[in-house]
Structure 1
Amino acid sequence: MTKGILCTIDFSEASRQALKWAVQFSKTQGSDLTILYTYRLTKNMTGEAVVWKKKMEEEALQKFAAFENDWLKTAGIKYDFKIEVGFVADRIEDHTQKSEISFLVMDKNMCSKSKDTFDDLMEHMKVPLVIVP
């Protein structure tokens, strides 16, 4: 059994495909899967931060529940879904430092959204990155 696998998602169709790949890879590796959804609290939001944060997390849980029913409940793997506030590169780095992660899985669109974020991620990565087209 290898260490855990971390898959970061944004609920786009591309990240759903990356998550499907990560589920299958976790099965073949006998690894636990951590699914990470990150979001930012921005100055542009309207209303109180606590209310906005709760709304974001409720929406994420609803979206995840649909995927979980379709793909995870019958996959035969141990998994965990985490919702965190912050920059995706920072949250990934934190997970790889605190947990035994053997691979990071993400979709190519998440990598291409922000070259600075991707470059920052690559600079600090200590585990192999699998980019799913």
Structure 2
Amino acid sequence: MELKLSKKRKPLKAITRRPTPRQVVTNGIIHQLGLLRDPSYKVERYRYCTEIEDGEPVRKKRLVKSPPRKWYFEADGKWYLEVRYGSSYVLEIEPGCPSIECGNTQEDVITVLEHLLDMVENGDLDDQINTLKEKAKRREKA
């Protein structure tokens, strides 16, 4: 019997479970829609905490529920929206314009978020999202 050799390697778990940049923004929009429709909406996340076991500090991974940070805000009687990549980076659809004016009610914010969700899923914002992904990469330790 002859063996059929391959150069294929088993993918690492860290690579296979990491969401794509488009999925990061899509998930954020879905969480914002959930928060607008239900003020008690919570997202499950893992948090690490240090506990003392047998006199030694041990880091534990805990599943906690917490509300997502709001991307929308009210100013001058109008509602505005900042689309984010992760928690720190604001997605500018056009350079120099970090927010979107939605309207006078939170329903207008929902309408804009639904439209943005369609845009992201169709790939209309891929260039802006990929730019932010590069900006958000963690620096390698020297």
- Larger relative contact order (Cα-Cα within 8 Å, sequence gap ≥ 6): 1
Taking structure 1 as the reference length, what is the TM-score of the superposition?
Answer: 0.28
Q: Greater CA radius of gyration, 1 or 2?
A: 2
TM-score calculated relative to the size of structure 2: 0.26
Q: Which has the higher helix share?
A: 1
